[in-house]
Amino acid sequence: MPRFDLLRRPQPFIGVLLVAGGWALSHQVGSNGVFDACARQSGGYVVIVSLLGLILTIIGGLYALRAWRGPAGSGRSFLGLVGALLALLAGFAILLQIAAGLILPTCFG
């Protein structure tokens, strides 16, 4: 089995995991780092980490999109589509987290 096939087989799973990891990173830093332990972090920290999470989400979405456009008739193409759509949803959620980090003051509420 060529090495390239070994890398393509888990491609949709890797895309979904990257998307979920980027969103989880952004969400956990935003909710726990600033709004729960507000003496330690600032809004700028949330924005920087959320941008890193957004980059990770975009990479995962592109990886999943590539799997979706692969050979038709396989279950991997459906999982690739799910990963690409999850990347859109998670990217929107991360953008809202970035906006909250820019607009809301630390320890708001």
* Residue 97 confidence (pLDDT): 86
Q: Of 36, 33, 16, 27, which Cα lies nearest the Cα of 84? A: 16
Indicate the domain borders of the chain.
11-103
Structure-token pair, residue 40: 């330690």
Degrees, nearest 5: CA angle 13-17-23: 150
24 contacts: CB under 8 Å, gap ≥ 6: 53
pTM of the model: 0.79
Grouped pLDDT means (10 residues each) for the chain, 109 residues: 58 86 89 64 80 94 84 73 92 90 71
* Residue 65 confidence (pLDDT): 86
